[in-house]
Structure 1
């Protein structure tokens, strides 16, 4: 489809009816995944089960692989990743992120998909794109955390490891479950926004300022809360000015 012009405005796509908004989002995710694939004429396409090179895939082998994997230390995934007000695709994305299984450039280089010169961060900061750099320490994307902390009235330093960052952001306040649930939603949303911005810069050559990324966090957090709570009646302006008040959490975090 790319060879025949499908890469441009999607002329090769054909649908029986107009796509809904959520379907367009899924299509965009599919397109981004396809853009990350490099086809080589001298190598045939094939599926490979990495857990057993000799015997190949089996249901028993897959079960053994899933049940013997070690969880990231001290990360209560069942309590933190799966949030009832967060879309499932975002929780699945976070599941991959905390296990360092996203196709970041350093992983693509190790697999021989890209060369070392293509490993640099999309922001132009001059550093290699690793998970911890992209989501925490990049001078561009890392500043999003400072803006979000300022918005919700909290402060703190960023740990080096993404798992530690997740735990600290949610639990460092030591307050009620309602506060922790809100911070959990915000953290999941922030990493989702960063990853989508990274893909837009890499594949679409579209850049968004950090201030606008913070606005996306504000908008989407409001939409998620409204979609799952019919009694949540606050509008955009009130939510932007004081999100903690809207949630009944207007006491200082520290």
Structure 2
């Protein structure tokens, strides 16, 4: 965005991340040929279930120009032009392939007045849908990522809490070990955690294995009446199907909120000790977790009609009712 519109220059280029998403996105998009000016003849998926460079690899290898458009090869009139630009004479086997290719494409007819287009291939309406895209990705990608997404984004916590937990789960928060790699000339000690003043500060340590944090997790699991052994990583913590406060809607809702509130409160405490040089005891942190979890839960439809004061006093009884 230009500066005249209030935008600022940034040295961070988004195209790498965009390209990674496009690789996941493109298999679910179908190219529809109009005038053939923008679709690559060999390398785009526009005819059949594979690109033509995959179907006719021997022909593709002897073309002098790899990125010819459909219009470049076929022309905009009938009969078709067949401008392949081979860099040498074809062998007998390659001629057979060429005949197969030409026969396959003999029914293609370009429309000079229509632009090439992309059509979403999943739903029957040909319109893009986040729901269909998410479901399709969940079948072909790492299922753990989608369990994380379901747990985090379906929770009834504020957006800032969900966003923090998402960054933590993906290893994107600036703990000391990561800062040391980004700015090694700074006076940082990756082997020192501000909460326990002992072990090194990493994501798994800060949010799971730090004695202060693990004490808070134990309080949460004890409140739910569960025996808990810390898992290997924070990612495992979020995808393990703990029963928490039961299988009722209230129990599931409050358990999600409490877990993410604990993560948020640990990060707030870590930053408070670093930037304000002020710290709170584990008991105060636990009281704050109880308060914010109860407050946010009381705003949901699952706890409609339950006073905040009642919810704060006895989670298990309210969730069981």
Per-residue Cα deviation, 1:55-88 (whole angstroms, up to 9, x for no partner): xx54xx5432235586573651332111352111
Per-residue Cα deviation, 1:63-120 (whole angstroms, up to 9, x for no partner): 3223558657365133211135211111111111110110111000011253453651
| Equivalence for 1:65 | 20
Contact 1:83 1:185 in 2 (8 A): no
Per-residue Cα deviation, 1:149-179 (whole angstroms, up to 9, x for no partner): 12232221111200111123xx133952623
Contact 1:225 1:232 in 2 (8 A): no
Find 1:85's aligned residue among 156, 166, 172.
Answer: 156
List runs of 5+ in structure 1 lacking aligned partners. 1-44, 50-56
> Max radius of gyration: which structure?
2
The answer to whether structure 1 residue 233 and structure 2 residue 197 are counterparts is no
Point out which structure has higher relative CO (alpha carbons under 8 A, 6+ apart). 1
How many residue pairs get aligned? The number is 193
Contact 2:176 2:189 in 1 (8 A): no
Q: Check 1:75–1:84 CA distance in 2 against 1; reply closer, same or farther (3 A cut).
A: closer
| Equivalence for 1:101 | 172
Find 1:172's aligned residue among 242, 259, 270.
Answer: 242
> C-alpha separation between the residues in 1 aligned to 2:228 and 2:294?
24
TM-score by length of 1: 0.67
List runs of 5+ in structure 2 lacking aligned partners. 1-8, 25-140
Q: Check 1:124–1:85 CA distance in 2 against 1; reply closer, same or farther (3 A cut).
A: closer
Contact 2:290 2:312 in 1 (8 A): yes
> C-alpha separation between the residues in 2 aligned to 1:144 and 1:165?
14
TM-score by length of 2: 0.54
> C-alpha separation between the residues in 1 aligned to 2:232 and 2:316?
28
Q: How does 1:95-244 map to 2 (within 5 A)?
A: 95-112=166-183, 114-117=186-189, 119-168=191-240, 171-173=241-243, 176=247, 178=249, 179-229=251-301, 231-236=304-309, 238-244=310-316
> C-alpha separation between the residues in 2 aligned to 1:90 and 1:110?
26
> C-alpha separation between the residues in 2 aligned to 1:232 and 1:84?
20
Q: Check 1:215–1:234 CA distance in 2 against 1; reply closer, same or farther (3 A cut).
A: same
> C-alpha separation between the residues in 1 aligned to 2:248 and 2:149?
15
> C-alpha separation between the residues in 2 aligned to 1:74 and 1:91?
15
Give the alignment's Cα RMSD to 1 decimal. 2.6
Per-residue Cα deviation, 1:162-212 (whole angstroms, up to 9, x for no partner): 0111123xx133952623333222111110111111110111111111111
What's the CA shift for 1:127?
0.9
What's the CA shift for 1:228?
2.8
Q: Check 1:87–1:71 CA distance in 2 against 1; reply closer, same or farther (3 A cut).
A: farther
Q: Check 1:88–1:46 CA distance in 2 against 1; reply closer, same or farther (3 A cut).
A: closer
Contact 1:75 1:163 in 2 (8 A): no
